Structure 1
Amino acid sequence: MKNALLILLFASASFSAVAALTPFQEKVLEILKMEHRSEVDTKRDSNRDPLYALEYFGLKEDMKVIEFAPGNGWYSKILAPVLKDKGELYLAYPGKWLDNMDELLAIEAMNKAKKLPIELDWNNKEKQYQLGNLDFAMKDADMLLNIREYHNFDAQDKAILNKATFEALKPGGIYVIVDHSRRHMAPETQELRRREDAVKVIIEVQAAGFILEKSSDRFYRPDDTLTFEVGRKTVTGNTDRFILVFRKPK
Protein backbone atom coordinates (compact mmCIF):
# COMPACT_ATOMS: atom_id res chain seq x y z
CA MET A 1 0.00 0.00 0.00
CA LYS A 2 2.77 2.43 0.97
CA ASN A 3 4.71 1.86 -2.27
CA ALA A 4 1.56 2.25 -4.34
CA LEU A 5 0.76 5.55 -2.64
CA LEU A 6 4.29 6.81 -3.26
CA ILE A 7 3.88 5.98 -6.96
CA LEU A 8 0.52 7.73 -6.99
CA LEU A 9 1.84 10.82 -5.25
CA PHE A 10 4.81 10.96 -7.61
CA ALA A 11 2.47 10.71 -10.60
CA SER A 12 0.27 13.43 -9.13
CA ALA A 13 3.27 15.65 -8.55
CA SER A 14 4.35 15.13 -12.15
CA PHE A 15 0.86 16.00 -13.33
CA SER A 16 0.70 19.12 -11.17
CA ALA A 17 4.03 20.26 -12.56
CA VAL A 18 2.30 20.59 -15.90
CA ALA A 19 -1.05 21.85 -14.59
CA ALA A 20 -2.30 22.44 -11.05
CA LEU A 21 -4.82 19.92 -9.79
CA THR A 22 -8.41 21.09 -9.87
CA PRO A 23 -10.43 21.05 -6.61
CA PHE A 24 -12.24 17.98 -7.94
CA GLN A 25 -8.94 16.18 -8.61
CA GLU A 26 -7.69 17.11 -5.15
CA LYS A 27 -10.78 15.46 -3.67
CA VAL A 28 -10.21 12.34 -5.79
CA LEU A 29 -6.58 12.24 -4.66
CA GLU A 30 -7.68 12.22 -1.02
CA ILE A 31 -10.13 9.40 -1.75
CA LEU A 32 -7.39 7.35 -3.41
CA LYS A 33 -5.57 7.33 -0.07
CA MET A 34 -8.55 6.06 1.92
CA GLU A 35 -8.28 2.80 3.84
CA HIS A 36 -11.17 1.01 2.15
CA ARG A 37 -9.05 0.70 -1.02
CA SER A 38 -6.84 -2.38 -1.02
CA GLU A 39 -3.25 -2.64 -2.22
CA VAL A 40 -4.59 -4.46 -5.28
CA ASP A 41 -6.69 -1.35 -6.01
CA THR A 42 -3.89 1.15 -5.52
CA LYS A 43 -1.46 -0.78 -7.73
CA ARG A 44 -3.77 -0.03 -10.66
CA ASP A 45 -3.97 3.71 -10.06
CA SER A 46 -1.04 4.76 -12.21
CA ASN A 47 -2.34 2.75 -15.16
CA ARG A 48 -6.00 3.75 -14.85
CA ASP A 49 -5.23 7.38 -13.90
CA PRO A 50 -8.51 8.26 -12.12
CA LEU A 51 -7.38 11.85 -11.56
CA TYR A 52 -7.54 12.36 -15.31
CA ALA A 53 -10.28 9.91 -16.21
CA LEU A 54 -13.04 11.05 -13.85
CA GLU A 55 -12.58 14.70 -14.74
CA TYR A 56 -12.49 13.84 -18.44
CA PHE A 57 -15.73 11.88 -18.08
CA GLY A 58 -17.33 15.10 -16.80
CA LEU A 59 -18.14 13.69 -13.36
CA LYS A 60 -19.39 16.24 -10.79
CA GLU A 61 -19.98 15.75 -7.07
CA ASP A 62 -23.72 16.48 -7.33
CA MET A 63 -24.55 14.06 -10.16
CA LYS A 64 -26.91 11.10 -10.22
CA VAL A 65 -24.67 8.35 -11.62
CA ILE A 66 -25.28 4.76 -12.71
CA GLU A 67 -22.23 2.50 -12.68
CA PHE A 68 -23.08 -0.39 -14.97
CA ALA A 69 -21.61 -3.79 -14.03
CA PRO A 70 -19.21 -2.56 -11.32
CA GLY A 71 -17.29 -5.85 -11.11
CA ASN A 72 -15.10 -5.94 -8.00
CA GLY A 73 -15.81 -2.27 -7.30
CA TRP A 74 -12.53 -0.60 -8.30
CA TYR A 75 -14.35 2.45 -9.63
CA SER A 76 -17.16 2.14 -7.05
CA LYS A 77 -14.66 2.68 -4.23
CA ILE A 78 -13.81 6.07 -5.74
CA LEU A 79 -17.23 7.07 -7.06
CA ALA A 80 -19.13 6.42 -3.82
CA PRO A 81 -17.07 8.85 -1.68
CA VAL A 82 -17.06 11.45 -4.49
CA LEU A 83 -20.87 11.39 -4.69
CA LYS A 84 -21.60 10.66 -1.02
CA ASP A 85 -22.56 14.15 0.17
CA LYS A 86 -24.15 15.86 -2.84
CA GLY A 87 -24.84 13.20 -5.46
CA GLU A 88 -26.16 9.66 -5.90
CA LEU A 89 -24.46 6.46 -7.03
CA TYR A 90 -26.44 3.47 -8.31
CA LEU A 91 -24.68 0.14 -8.86
CA ALA A 92 -26.42 -1.71 -11.69
CA TYR A 93 -25.85 -5.45 -11.35
CA PRO A 94 -27.90 -8.61 -10.73
CA GLY A 95 -29.31 -8.69 -7.21
CA LYS A 96 -27.37 -11.79 -6.14
CA TRP A 97 -24.09 -10.22 -7.31
CA LEU A 98 -24.91 -6.96 -5.52
CA ASP A 99 -25.43 -8.96 -2.32
CA ASN A 100 -21.79 -10.06 -2.60
CA MET A 101 -20.86 -6.39 -2.20
CA ASP A 102 -22.67 -6.00 1.14
CA GLU A 103 -19.46 -5.98 3.21
CA LEU A 104 -17.97 -3.28 0.99
CA LEU A 105 -21.16 -1.20 0.99
CA ALA A 106 -21.29 -1.29 4.79
CA ILE A 107 -18.09 0.78 4.99
CA GLU A 108 -18.77 4.43 5.87
CA ALA A 109 -17.22 5.77 2.69
CA MET A 110 -19.47 3.48 0.64
CA ASN A 111 -22.72 3.38 2.59
CA LYS A 112 -24.64 5.90 0.47
CA ALA A 113 -24.22 3.88 -2.73
CA LYS A 114 -27.51 2.29 -3.79
CA LYS A 115 -28.12 -1.14 -5.28
CA LEU A 116 -29.87 -1.16 -8.65
CA PRO A 117 -30.77 -4.78 -9.50
CA ILE A 118 -31.01 -5.51 -13.22
CA GLU A 119 -31.61 -8.59 -15.38
CA LEU A 120 -28.13 -9.71 -16.36
CA ASP A 121 -26.51 -13.13 -16.46
CA TRP A 122 -23.23 -14.67 -17.57
CA ASN A 123 -23.14 -17.25 -20.35
CA ASN A 124 -20.03 -19.26 -19.54
CA LYS A 125 -20.15 -21.17 -22.84
CA GLU A 126 -20.20 -18.00 -24.95
CA LYS A 127 -18.06 -16.04 -22.45
CA GLN A 128 -20.53 -13.17 -22.65
CA TYR A 129 -23.15 -11.41 -20.57
CA GLN A 130 -26.77 -11.86 -21.51
CA LEU A 131 -29.36 -9.19 -20.84
CA GLY A 132 -32.95 -9.76 -19.92
CA ASN A 133 -35.51 -6.96 -19.87
CA LEU A 134 -33.06 -4.17 -19.04
CA ASP A 135 -34.62 -1.26 -17.17
CA PHE A 136 -32.60 1.14 -15.04
CA ALA A 137 -35.85 2.36 -13.40
CA MET A 138 -35.10 6.06 -13.87
CA LYS A 139 -35.15 8.73 -16.55
CA ASP A 140 -33.17 11.50 -14.88
CA ALA A 141 -29.64 10.13 -14.46
CA ASP A 142 -26.81 12.56 -15.21
CA MET A 143 -24.30 9.90 -16.22
CA LEU A 144 -23.94 6.20 -16.94
CA LEU A 145 -20.48 4.65 -16.78
CA ASN A 146 -19.72 1.51 -18.80
CA ILE A 147 -16.11 0.72 -17.90
CA ARG A 148 -14.47 -2.21 -19.74
CA GLU A 149 -17.77 -4.08 -20.04
CA TYR A 150 -19.09 -3.16 -23.49
CA HIS A 151 -17.04 -5.97 -25.08
CA ASN A 152 -18.95 -8.55 -23.02
CA PHE A 153 -22.13 -8.31 -25.12
CA ASP A 154 -23.23 -9.47 -28.55
CA ALA A 155 -24.64 -6.99 -31.09
CA GLN A 156 -28.26 -7.53 -30.05
CA ASP A 157 -27.59 -6.94 -26.36
CA LYS A 158 -25.40 -3.90 -27.11
CA ALA A 159 -28.40 -2.36 -28.85
CA ILE A 160 -30.59 -3.16 -25.83
CA LEU A 161 -28.00 -1.69 -23.46
CA ASN A 162 -27.56 1.50 -25.46
CA LYS A 163 -31.33 2.01 -25.75
CA ALA A 164 -31.86 1.46 -22.01
CA THR A 165 -29.03 3.89 -21.25
CA PHE A 166 -30.61 6.52 -23.51
CA GLU A 167 -33.92 6.11 -21.69
CA ALA A 168 -32.31 6.29 -18.22
CA LEU A 169 -30.43 9.54 -18.86
CA LYS A 170 -31.99 12.97 -18.70
CA PRO A 171 -31.63 15.25 -21.76
CA GLY A 172 -27.99 16.33 -21.82
CA GLY A 173 -26.96 13.26 -19.82
CA ILE A 174 -23.55 11.65 -20.37
CA TYR A 175 -22.78 8.08 -21.46
CA VAL A 176 -19.14 7.02 -20.96
CA ILE A 177 -17.61 3.92 -22.50
CA VAL A 178 -14.06 2.79 -21.77
CA ASP A 179 -12.75 -0.41 -23.29
CA HIS A 180 -9.71 -2.27 -24.59
CA SER A 181 -8.85 -1.35 -28.16
CA ARG A 182 -9.18 -3.63 -31.17
CA ARG A 183 -7.77 -2.79 -34.58
CA HIS A 184 -10.47 -1.35 -36.85
CA MET A 185 -12.30 -4.10 -38.78
CA ALA A 186 -10.34 -6.90 -37.07
CA PRO A 187 -12.34 -10.16 -37.10
CA GLU A 188 -14.17 -11.58 -34.11
CA THR A 189 -11.95 -14.24 -32.49
CA GLN A 190 -11.45 -15.73 -29.04
CA GLU A 191 -8.14 -13.88 -28.83
CA LEU A 192 -9.88 -10.55 -29.45
CA ARG A 193 -13.17 -11.13 -27.66
CA ARG A 194 -12.36 -8.66 -24.87
CA ARG A 195 -11.37 -5.89 -27.26
CA GLU A 196 -13.60 -3.40 -29.07
CA ASP A 197 -13.34 -1.51 -32.34
CA ALA A 198 -13.90 2.12 -31.26
CA VAL A 199 -15.29 3.08 -34.67
CA LYS A 200 -17.88 0.32 -34.43
CA VAL A 201 -18.80 1.35 -30.89
CA ILE A 202 -19.35 4.95 -32.02
CA ILE A 203 -21.67 3.81 -34.82
CA GLU A 204 -23.65 1.53 -32.46
CA VAL A 205 -24.10 4.16 -29.77
CA GLN A 206 -25.02 6.90 -32.22
CA ALA A 207 -27.68 4.57 -33.63
CA ALA A 208 -29.35 4.72 -30.20
CA GLY A 209 -29.64 8.51 -30.48
CA PHE A 210 -26.47 9.68 -28.74
CA ILE A 211 -24.04 12.34 -29.96
CA LEU A 212 -20.30 11.69 -29.64
CA GLU A 213 -18.97 14.61 -27.63
CA LYS A 214 -15.27 13.71 -27.30
CA SER A 215 -12.73 10.90 -27.22
CA SER A 216 -9.40 10.56 -25.47
CA ASP A 217 -6.11 8.88 -26.37
CA ARG A 218 -4.81 9.13 -22.81
CA PHE A 219 -4.56 5.34 -22.59
CA TYR A 220 -2.85 4.83 -25.92
CA ARG A 221 -0.16 2.19 -25.44
CA PRO A 222 2.28 1.96 -28.39
CA ASP A 223 3.63 -1.43 -27.33
CA ASP A 224 0.16 -3.06 -27.34
CA THR A 225 -0.06 -4.62 -30.80
CA LEU A 226 -3.85 -5.10 -30.42
CA THR A 227 -3.49 -8.76 -31.33
CA PHE A 228 -3.45 -10.57 -27.97
CA GLU A 229 -6.07 -11.42 -25.35
CA VAL A 230 -6.00 -8.68 -22.70
CA GLY A 231 -5.39 -11.19 -19.92
CA ARG A 232 -2.10 -12.45 -21.33
CA LYS A 233 0.88 -11.74 -19.09
CA THR A 234 2.64 -9.80 -21.83
CA VAL A 235 -0.37 -7.47 -22.22
CA THR A 236 -2.39 -7.28 -19.01
CA GLY A 237 -2.09 -3.98 -17.18
CA ASN A 238 -0.75 -2.30 -20.31
CA THR A 239 -3.59 -2.54 -22.82
CA ASP A 240 -4.41 0.20 -25.25
CA ARG A 241 -7.83 1.61 -24.23
CA PHE A 242 -10.18 4.25 -25.57
CA ILE A 243 -12.48 6.66 -23.75
CA LEU A 244 -15.64 7.71 -25.57
CA VAL A 245 -17.95 10.33 -24.06
CA PHE A 246 -21.44 10.56 -25.58
CA ARG A 247 -24.26 12.94 -24.74
CA LYS A 248 -28.03 12.55 -24.99
CA PRO A 249 -29.38 15.50 -27.01
CA LYS A 250 -31.28 18.15 -25.06
Structure 2
Amino acid sequence: MNVSFRFAASLRHPLASLLFAAALAGCTAPLQPASPSASDTASLDAAIAGPQRGDKARARDVYRHPEGTLQFFDIDATQTVLEIAPGGGWYTDILAPYLHAHGHLYEAQYASPLPEFSAETKLMDAAFQRKLAQAPALYGTVVVGTLRAGHFEGFDANGRFDRVLTFRNIHNWVKDGQLDANLRAFYAALKPGGELGVEEHRAKPGTSVQQMMDTGYMTEAFVIEHAQAAGFVLAGRSEINANPLDTKDYPNGVWSLPPTYKGGDAGRARYAAIGESDRMTLKFVKR
Protein backbone atom coordinates (compact mmCIF):
# COMPACT_ATOMS: atom_id res chain seq x y z
CA MET A 1 0.00 0.00 0.00
CA ASN A 2 1.42 3.43 -0.98
CA VAL A 3 -0.45 6.19 0.91
CA SER A 4 1.85 9.25 1.13
CA PHE A 5 4.63 7.76 3.19
CA ARG A 6 2.74 4.52 3.57
CA PHE A 7 2.89 3.68 1.56
CA ALA A 8 -5.30 -14.20 -20.87
CA ALA A 9 -7.97 -13.52 -22.44
CA SER A 10 -11.31 -12.15 -21.33
CA LEU A 11 -13.97 -14.67 -20.33
CA ARG A 12 -17.12 -15.11 -22.38
CA HIS A 13 -19.38 -15.06 -19.33
CA PRO A 14 -17.11 -13.13 -16.95
CA LEU A 15 -18.43 -13.60 -13.43
CA ALA A 16 -20.00 -17.01 -14.01
CA SER A 17 -16.84 -18.32 -15.58
CA LEU A 18 -14.72 -16.88 -12.81
CA LEU A 19 -16.71 -18.44 -9.99
CA PHE A 20 -17.05 -21.73 -11.87
CA ALA A 21 -13.28 -21.89 -12.28
CA ALA A 22 -12.85 -21.25 -8.55
CA ALA A 23 -15.13 -24.20 -7.82
CA LEU A 24 -12.81 -26.50 -9.71
CA ALA A 25 -10.20 -26.32 -6.97
CA GLY A 26 -9.86 -29.48 -4.84
CA CYS A 27 -11.93 -29.74 -1.69
CA THR A 28 -8.96 -30.64 0.48
CA ALA A 29 -5.34 -29.62 0.46
CA PRO A 30 -2.41 -29.87 2.85
CA LEU A 31 -1.49 -26.72 4.78
CA GLN A 32 1.77 -26.42 2.84
CA PRO A 33 1.32 -28.12 -0.55
CA ALA A 34 4.46 -29.18 -2.36
CA SER A 35 3.12 -27.84 -5.65
CA PRO A 36 -0.23 -26.50 -6.90
CA SER A 37 -2.61 -28.93 -8.58
CA ALA A 38 -3.66 -28.36 -12.19
CA SER A 39 -7.18 -27.42 -11.09
CA ASP A 40 -5.89 -25.01 -8.46
CA THR A 41 -3.59 -23.35 -10.98
CA ALA A 42 -6.52 -23.03 -13.40
CA SER A 43 -8.59 -21.44 -10.63
CA LEU A 44 -5.86 -18.93 -9.85
CA ASP A 45 -5.35 -18.16 -13.54
CA ALA A 46 -9.08 -17.49 -13.87
CA ALA A 47 -9.02 -15.09 -10.93
CA ILE A 48 -6.05 -13.20 -12.36
CA ALA A 49 -7.70 -13.01 -15.80
CA GLY A 50 -11.10 -12.05 -14.39
CA PRO A 51 -13.07 -8.97 -15.47
CA GLN A 52 -13.02 -7.52 -11.96
CA ARG A 53 -9.41 -6.45 -12.58
CA GLY A 54 -9.03 -3.22 -14.52
CA ASP A 55 -6.43 -2.38 -17.13
CA LYS A 56 -4.29 -0.44 -14.66
CA ALA A 57 -4.14 -3.43 -12.33
CA ARG A 58 -3.26 -5.82 -15.14
CA ALA A 59 -0.49 -3.50 -16.36
CA ARG A 60 1.28 -4.01 -13.04
CA ASP A 61 1.36 -7.82 -13.33
CA VAL A 62 4.72 -7.57 -15.10
CA TYR A 63 6.16 -6.13 -11.89
CA ARG A 64 4.03 -7.84 -9.22
CA HIS A 65 3.84 -11.40 -10.64
CA PRO A 66 0.65 -12.38 -8.79
CA GLU A 67 0.52 -16.03 -9.86
CA GLY A 68 4.11 -16.84 -8.97
CA THR A 69 3.98 -14.81 -5.76
CA LEU A 70 0.84 -16.53 -4.45
CA GLN A 71 2.15 -19.94 -5.45
CA PHE A 72 5.38 -19.22 -3.58
CA PHE A 73 3.25 -18.39 -0.55
CA ASP A 74 1.65 -21.87 -0.90
CA ILE A 75 -1.85 -20.45 -1.29
CA ASP A 76 -4.62 -22.85 -2.27
CA ALA A 77 -8.30 -22.26 -2.84
CA THR A 78 -9.50 -24.05 0.31
CA GLN A 79 -7.63 -21.93 2.82
CA THR A 80 -8.63 -19.22 5.25
CA VAL A 81 -6.47 -16.24 4.31
CA LEU A 82 -5.94 -12.90 6.02
CA GLU A 83 -4.59 -10.00 3.97
CA ILE A 84 -3.18 -7.06 5.91
CA ALA A 85 -3.66 -3.46 4.75
CA PRO A 86 -5.25 -4.15 1.35
CA GLY A 87 -5.07 -0.52 0.19
CA GLY A 88 -7.12 -0.20 -2.98
CA GLY A 89 -7.57 -3.98 -3.20
CA TRP A 90 -5.03 -4.95 -5.87
CA TYR A 91 -4.56 -8.41 -4.39
CA THR A 92 -8.10 -8.54 -3.02
CA ASP A 93 -9.37 -8.59 -6.61
CA ILE A 94 -7.46 -11.85 -7.11
CA LEU A 95 -7.89 -13.47 -3.71
CA ALA A 96 -11.64 -12.88 -3.38
CA PRO A 97 -12.72 -14.84 -6.49
CA TYR A 98 -9.97 -17.42 -5.97
CA LEU A 99 -11.16 -18.24 -2.44
CA HIS A 100 -14.86 -17.65 -3.13
CA ALA A 101 -16.04 -21.24 -3.56
CA HIS A 102 -14.04 -23.22 -0.99
CA GLY A 103 -11.97 -20.82 1.10
CA HIS A 104 -12.37 -17.67 3.14
CA LEU A 105 -10.84 -14.21 2.76
CA TYR A 106 -10.43 -11.75 5.60
CA GLU A 107 -9.10 -8.21 5.18
CA ALA A 108 -7.58 -6.16 7.99
CA GLN A 109 -7.38 -2.46 7.28
CA TYR A 110 -4.45 -0.89 9.10
CA ALA A 111 -5.09 1.96 11.53
CA SER A 112 -1.99 4.10 11.94
CA PRO A 113 -1.44 5.74 15.33
CA LEU A 114 0.04 8.80 13.60
CA PRO A 115 -2.58 11.53 13.15
CA GLU A 116 -1.01 12.90 9.96
CA PHE A 117 -1.96 9.71 8.12
CA SER A 118 -5.38 9.18 9.70
CA ALA A 119 -7.57 11.19 7.28
CA GLU A 120 -5.91 9.85 4.13
CA THR A 121 -6.07 6.27 5.37
CA LYS A 122 -9.75 6.64 6.24
CA LEU A 123 -10.51 7.84 2.72
CA MET A 124 -8.74 4.84 1.20
CA ASP A 125 -10.44 2.43 3.58
CA ALA A 126 -13.86 3.90 2.78
CA ALA A 127 -13.18 3.53 -0.96
CA PHE A 128 -12.20 -0.09 -0.38
CA GLN A 129 -15.44 -0.77 1.49
CA ARG A 130 -17.47 0.81 -1.33
CA LYS A 131 -15.64 -1.35 -3.85
CA LEU A 132 -16.64 -4.51 -1.98
CA ALA A 133 -20.23 -3.36 -1.48
CA GLN A 134 -20.70 -2.64 -5.19
CA ALA A 135 -20.01 -6.25 -6.23
CA PRO A 136 -21.59 -8.53 -3.60
CA ALA A 137 -21.54 -11.58 -5.90
CA LEU A 138 -17.76 -11.37 -5.90
CA TYR A 139 -16.90 -9.79 -2.56
CA GLY A 140 -19.95 -10.53 -0.43
CA THR A 141 -18.21 -13.20 1.65
CA VAL A 142 -15.11 -11.10 2.38
CA VAL A 143 -14.83 -10.23 6.08
CA VAL A 144 -13.30 -6.83 6.84
CA GLY A 145 -11.82 -5.77 10.15
CA THR A 146 -9.04 -3.58 11.48
CA LEU A 147 -5.49 -3.99 12.72
CA ARG A 148 -4.91 -1.43 15.43
CA ALA A 149 -1.93 -1.28 17.80
CA GLY A 150 -1.11 -4.94 17.25
CA HIS A 151 -4.67 -6.19 17.79
CA PHE A 152 -7.38 -7.26 15.36
CA GLU A 153 -10.86 -5.80 15.62
CA GLY A 154 -14.01 -6.96 13.83
CA PHE A 155 -13.30 -10.69 13.81
CA ASP A 156 -11.75 -13.41 15.96
CA ALA A 157 -8.18 -13.85 14.75
CA ASN A 158 -6.82 -16.28 17.31
CA GLY A 159 -5.21 -19.27 15.56
CA ARG A 160 -7.72 -19.41 12.71
CA PHE A 161 -5.73 -18.55 9.57
CA ASP A 162 -3.77 -20.75 7.18
CA ARG A 163 -2.03 -17.74 5.65
CA VAL A 164 -1.39 -14.13 6.58
CA LEU A 165 -0.22 -11.97 3.66
CA THR A 166 1.17 -8.46 3.55
CA PHE A 167 2.35 -6.60 0.46
CA ARG A 168 4.63 -3.55 0.73
CA ASN A 169 3.60 -2.50 4.22
CA ILE A 170 6.57 -3.19 6.50
CA HIS A 171 8.07 0.28 5.97
CA ASN A 172 4.84 1.89 7.19
CA TRP A 173 4.88 -0.09 10.41
CA VAL A 174 8.52 0.71 11.10
CA LYS A 175 7.74 4.42 10.79
CA ASP A 176 4.73 3.98 13.09
CA GLY A 177 6.62 1.93 15.67
CA GLN A 178 4.14 -0.93 15.11
CA LEU A 179 6.23 -3.59 13.34
CA ASP A 180 6.93 -5.89 16.28
CA ALA A 181 3.39 -5.68 17.70
CA ASN A 182 1.95 -6.46 14.26
CA LEU A 183 4.26 -9.43 13.70
CA ARG A 184 3.26 -10.87 17.08
CA ALA A 185 -0.40 -10.42 16.10
CA PHE A 186 0.21 -12.28 12.83
CA TYR A 187 1.89 -15.13 14.69
CA ALA A 188 -1.06 -15.46 17.08
CA ALA A 189 -3.54 -15.32 14.18
CA LEU A 190 -1.99 -18.25 12.33
CA LYS A 191 -2.66 -21.93 12.87
CA PRO A 192 0.37 -24.05 13.79
CA GLY A 193 2.15 -24.67 10.49
CA GLY A 194 0.54 -21.59 8.95
CA GLU A 195 2.60 -19.17 6.91
CA LEU A 196 3.23 -15.46 6.82
CA GLY A 197 3.94 -14.14 3.30
CA VAL A 198 5.80 -10.84 3.02
CA GLU A 199 6.55 -8.71 -0.04
CA GLU A 200 8.51 -5.52 0.64
CA HIS A 201 10.72 -2.94 -1.06
CA ARG A 202 14.29 -4.17 -0.60
CA ALA A 203 17.13 -1.96 0.62
CA LYS A 204 20.81 -2.56 0.10
CA PRO A 205 22.45 -4.54 2.94
CA GLY A 206 23.75 -2.24 5.65
CA THR A 207 21.13 0.49 5.13
CA SER A 208 20.42 2.23 8.43
CA VAL A 209 17.00 2.18 10.06
CA GLN A 210 16.66 5.92 9.51
CA GLN A 211 17.48 5.53 5.81
CA MET A 212 14.93 2.73 5.59
CA MET A 213 12.26 4.95 7.11
CA ASP A 214 13.19 7.84 4.84
CA THR A 215 13.26 5.85 1.59
CA GLY A 216 10.68 3.08 2.15
CA TYR A 217 13.22 0.35 1.38
CA MET A 218 13.84 -2.29 4.08
CA THR A 219 16.76 -4.70 4.31
CA GLU A 220 15.99 -8.41 4.22
CA ALA A 221 18.09 -8.91 7.34
CA PHE A 222 15.96 -6.38 9.25
CA VAL A 223 12.67 -7.99 8.24
CA ILE A 224 13.91 -11.51 8.99
CA GLU A 225 15.32 -10.49 12.36
CA HIS A 226 12.04 -8.97 13.49
CA ALA A 227 9.92 -11.84 12.17
CA GLN A 228 12.11 -14.35 13.98
CA ALA A 229 11.85 -12.31 17.18
CA ALA A 230 8.07 -12.71 16.92
CA GLY A 231 8.50 -16.51 16.80
CA PHE A 232 8.54 -17.15 13.04
CA VAL A 233 10.94 -19.45 11.22
CA LEU A 234 12.15 -18.35 7.78
CA ALA A 235 10.75 -20.92 5.31
CA GLY A 236 11.92 -19.51 1.98
CA ARG A 237 12.98 -16.58 -0.18
CA SER A 238 12.02 -15.87 -3.77
CA GLU A 239 13.47 -13.48 -6.33
CA ILE A 240 10.23 -13.38 -8.33
CA ASN A 241 9.71 -9.69 -7.51
CA ALA A 242 13.35 -8.64 -7.89
CA ASN A 243 14.24 -5.69 -10.12
CA PRO A 244 18.00 -5.30 -10.75
CA LEU A 245 17.40 -1.95 -12.49
CA ASP A 246 16.32 -0.36 -9.20
CA THR A 247 19.28 1.65 -7.86
CA LYS A 248 17.39 2.78 -4.72
CA ASP A 249 18.92 6.26 -4.65
CA TYR A 250 16.09 8.61 -5.64
CA PRO A 251 15.11 12.00 -4.18
CA ASN A 252 11.69 10.74 -3.09
CA GLY A 253 12.77 7.24 -2.12
CA VAL A 254 10.76 4.35 -3.47
CA TRP A 255 7.88 6.72 -4.22
CA SER A 256 9.90 8.25 -7.07
CA LEU A 257 9.20 5.06 -9.02
CA PRO A 258 5.94 3.92 -10.59
CA PRO A 259 3.15 3.71 -9.77
CA THR A 260 3.52 6.74 -7.46
CA TYR A 261 5.86 9.08 -9.38
CA LYS A 262 6.00 11.38 -6.37
CA GLY A 263 8.38 13.76 -8.14
CA GLY A 264 5.87 14.45 -10.89
CA ASP A 265 7.45 14.93 -14.30
CA ALA A 266 10.98 15.28 -12.93
CA GLY A 267 12.86 12.16 -13.99
CA ARG A 268 9.64 10.42 -14.95
CA ALA A 269 11.00 8.83 -18.13
CA ARG A 270 13.97 7.43 -16.22
CA TYR A 271 11.76 6.03 -13.48
CA ALA A 272 9.32 4.52 -15.96
CA ALA A 273 12.22 2.72 -17.64
CA ILE A 274 13.31 1.30 -14.27
CA GLY A 275 9.83 0.10 -13.39
CA GLU A 276 8.52 -0.73 -9.95
CA SER A 277 10.82 -1.34 -6.99
CA ASP A 278 13.14 -4.23 -6.29
CA ARG A 279 11.27 -6.35 -3.74
CA MET A 280 12.04 -9.14 -1.34
CA THR A 281 9.53 -11.97 -1.22
CA LEU A 282 9.78 -13.99 1.99
CA LYS A 283 7.70 -16.66 3.70
CA PHE A 284 7.79 -17.57 7.36
CA VAL A 285 6.18 -20.46 9.18
CA LYS A 286 4.62 -20.74 12.63
CA ARG A 287 5.95 -23.89 14.28
- Between stretches 189-198 and 163-172, larger displacement belongs to 189-198
The DSSP-based 3-state class of the residue aligned with 2:178 is helix
- 1:123 aligns with none
In the aligned structure 2, how far is the partner of 1:80 from the partner of 1:191? 32
Alpha-carbon distance, 1:23 to partner: 3.0
Is the Cα–Cα contact under 8 Å of residues 203 and 219 in structure 2 kept in the other structure?
A: yes
| TM-score of the superposed pair, with normalisation by structure 1 | 0.80
Q: Does structure 2 retain, via aligned residues, the 8 Å contact 1:192–1:227?
A: no
The code of the aligned residue for 2:61 comes to: D
**How many residue pairs were aligned?**
220
Q: Which residue of 2 aligns with 1:90?
A: 106
Counterpart of 1:134 in structure 2 is 151
Return the match for 2:249 from 218, 227, 232: 227
| Range with bigger deviation, 99-108 or 193-202 | 99-108
1:149-191 CA distance string (max 9 Å, x none)? 0111227411101111111111111001100110111132388
* Contact 1:211-1:247 at 8 Å conserved across structures: yes
Q: What is the SS of the residue equivalent to 1:115?
A: strand
Q: Which segment is superposed worse, 197-206 or 135-144?
A: 135-144
Query: Among residues 21, 25, 41, which one is paired with 2:57 in the alignment?
Result: 41
Unaligned 5+ residue runs, structure 2?
Answer: 1-7, 10-35, 112-121, 257-267
Q: 2:181 aligns with which of 146, 149, 160?
A: 160
Equivalent pairs: percent with the same residue? 27
**Compared CA separation, residues 144 and 242, structure 1 to 2 (3 A):** same
Superposed CA RMSD: 2.3
Does 1:245 find its partner at 2:283?
yes
* TM-score, L = length of structure 2: 0.70
Residue range with higher mean Cα deviation, 87-96 or 54-63: 87-96
Q: Structure 1: which amino acid aligns with 2:71?
A: E
Given that 1:98 and 1:115 are in contact with CA atoms closer than 8 Å, whether structure 2 keeps it comes out as: no
Higher relative contact order (CA 8 A, sep 6+): 2
Q: Check whether the contact 1:216–1:243 (CA below 8 A) recurs between aligned residues.
A: yes
1:123-158 CA-to-partner distances (Å, cap 9, x unmatched) read xxxxxxxxx252363221111101000111227411
Paired residues for 1:84-123 under 5 Å: 84-93=100-109, 98-106=125-133, 107=135, 108-119=137-148
Q: Deviations 1:169-214 (Å, cap 9, x if unpaired)?
A: 1111100110011011113238853111011110110011100000
Further displaced range: 153-162 or 213-222: 153-162
